Amino acid sequence: MPKLLRSTATRLALVFAILFMVAAMLLAGLLWWTTTGYLDRETDAVIAADTRAIGDRLSDFGLAGAVQTMNERIAADADNRGIYLLTDPRLRPLGGNVDAWPLKVGPRPGWYEIELVHRDRLHVARLLHVTLPGNFQLLVGRDVQDRVEMRNLFLRGLVWAGVAALTFAFFGAWLIRRAVERRIEGINRTALAIVQGDLARRVPLRDADDEFDQLVATINRMLDQIQQLIEGVRNVSNAIAHDLRTPLAETRARLEGLLRQPAGMDVSLDGIAAAIADIDRLIGVFNALLRLAELETGLRRAGFASVDVPALLDDAAELYSPAADAKGLDLVSHADTGLVLNGDRQLLAQAIGNLLDNAVKYTPAGGRIDVRAEVGTDGRILISVADSGPGIPEAERTRAVQRFYRGDASRHAEGVGLGLSLVEAVARLHGGELRLDGNNPGLRAVLALPPQA
């Protein structure tokens, strides 16, 4: 039993059953109050009225008046349910329709409900005992046998109704427990399948649009994100192994060649310089990965400050103008005045620099690169770099921001495929996004960032 009570579904079912029973008991109490209780109160009111009337006649007209009033009420009692007895202080009858003072009525005045022989039959009677002036004792009551029988019948009905309510309560609780456990079991089965390696498994939806469906939808989105992250880690691991193998192999070959060559200062220095270049390339890859990890933690938000977008764009264009001129490219920069955003200037400069570096690298000689900063229709600041190069096929644009992804057009170019990943991370850090659109021909990369509040 304690193990069963540890189940949340069982506890919810028991709470439902208890609430159902409490509601049934309250309803039964209300029915009792409005039926049997009402009849009892009416009976007590009639008895009290008769008692006051007889007491008033005794005060006004003496004992004879009280006895006369009592006899009149006995004669007017059509259903013969009235009980009247007036005695002297020693309980000797002076009038009424009861032969002797009932033994079950004590000397203390008040209400009594006793079994009384009345008209040669043993009935339940509701009686009021009062002491009148002169120490006369008055007993007024009503035969309530029929109401007692009705009360007993009502109580038996309530008992059977309670049994039925209890049965329905536990049946409803069982249904609730079963429904909750079935929904939770679906989550457990999915979690177990994922633990066993089936990352594509998802919790089934019931299309009920209830709280469980909302929870399942949230869990499925979380599982999608986890699967994406795991696949990203797997792809990154594969990409790192692939991209680092070549420079490591080249470095090893150069160093091995240096060992085999005869001593010669010029040759040794050239080989060492080449090995250092390969090692620098590896260090650059790891630095880029560390920078991405730093951006994803969000720690750099603490250093945000106002950034003048036109000045930022001018600096970036000025930095890459020599490379563009050397390749015969037309680099044009334009920014609307007064654009200011809250961010890390160094990171934003690096992101724009990565976009310009890609544009200069892939745009053929005689091409054009447009760098612009303007306010979009949604109020965000749009920093775009558009080129007339080969572009990125639409099917590959969502994958282009993945780490180490290299498209067909960039497979033989320098780089390791981390540039756009870093730009996208900078955009997310600043509460914005990176969009890759076609430029017909070429690519238009847009950083959409929120303005300074």
pLDDT digits (tens, 9 = 90+) for 294-349: 666 655 666 778 889 999 999 989 999 989 988 899 999 998 888 998 888 888 88
Q: Which residues pair with 370 in a beta bridge?
A: 332, 386
* Structure confidence by residue, pLDDT tens digits, 235-269: 666 656 666 666 677 777 777 776 676 655 555 66
Going along 20-135, which residue ranges are E strands?
82-87, 93-96, 110-118, 121-132
| Whole-Å CA distances, 100 to 94, 115, 392 | 10, 14, 115
* Structure confidence by residue, pLDDT tens digits, 372-415: 999 988 889 999 999 988 888 887 877 777 766 666 555 545 55
Q: Which CATH number fits domain 36-143: 3.30.450.20, 3.90.100.10, 3.30.420.40, 3.90.190.20?
A: 3.30.450.20
Treating both helix axes as pointing N-terminal to C-terminal, what angle do 345-362 and 419-429 enclose, rounded to 10 degrees? 150
Topology, domain 300-449: Heat Shock Protein 90 (3.30.565)
The answer to whether 390 and 442 are in contact (CB under 8 A) is yes
The answer to whether 198 and 214 are in contact (CB under 8 A) is no
- The angle subtended at Cα 412 by Cα 421 and Cα 231, nearest 5°, is 40
Q: Write out the CATH class of domain 211-297.
A: mainly alpha
Domain-wise residue ranges, the chain:
2-34+152-186, 36-143, 211-297, 300-449
pLDDT beyond 90 at 289: no
Helix (H) or strand (E) holding 257: helix 211-260
Q: Quote the CA–CA distance of 406 and 52 in Å, as a whole number.
A: 107
Looking at residue 299, what is its pLDDT? 59
Phi/psi at 275 (nearest 5 deg)?
-65, -40
CA dihedral (52, 56, 59, 61) positive or negative: negative
The answer to whether 384 and 444 are in contact (CB under 8 A) is yes
Phi/psi at 36 (nearest 5 deg)?
-60, -45
pLDDT beyond 50 at 26: yes
Q: Quote the CA–CA distance of 260 and 268 in Å, as a whole number.
A: 11
pLDDT beyond 60 at 42: yes
Treating both helix axes as pointing N-terminal to C-terminal, what angle do 211-260 and 145-195 enclose, rounded to 10 degrees? 20
Question: Mean of the pLDDT values across residues 447-452?
Answer: 87
The answer to whether 418 and 403 are in contact (CB under 8 A) is yes
Task: Provide the CB-side half-sphere exposure for 194 (13 A, CA).
Answer: 19
Residue for token digits 């600096």?
315
On the question of a common fold for 36-143 and 300-449, the answer reads no
pLDDT beyond 60 at 40: yes
Q: Quote the CA–CA distance of 268 and 74 in Å, as a whole number.
A: 139
Q: What percent of the chain has pLDDT over 70?
A: 79
Burial class (CB in 10 A: 0-12, 13-18, 19+), 427: buried
Looking at residue 246, what is its pLDDT? 65
* Residue 343 CA to its chain's centroid (Å): 33
Looking at residue 60, what is its pLDDT? 87
- Two tokens, residue 425: 């991370």
Of 284 and 345, the structure prediction assigns the larger pLDDT to 345
Q: Quote the CA–CA distance of 248 and 268 in Å, as a whole number.
A: 18
Of 301 and 44, the structure prediction assigns the larger pLDDT to 44
Tell me if residue 284 falls in helix, strand or coil.
helix
Q: Quote the CA–CA distance of 357 and 17 in Å, as a whole number.
A: 70
What's the maximum distance between 2 C-alpha atoms anywhere in the chain? 153
- Assign 3-state DSSP to the chain and report helix, strand, coil percentages, each to 5: 60, 20, 25
Q: Quote the CA–CA distance of 354 and 421 in Å, as a whole number.
A: 10
Taking only Cα atoms into account, the Rg of the chain, rounded to an integer number of angstroms, comes to: 49
The answer to whether 97 and 83 are in contact (CB under 8 A) is yes
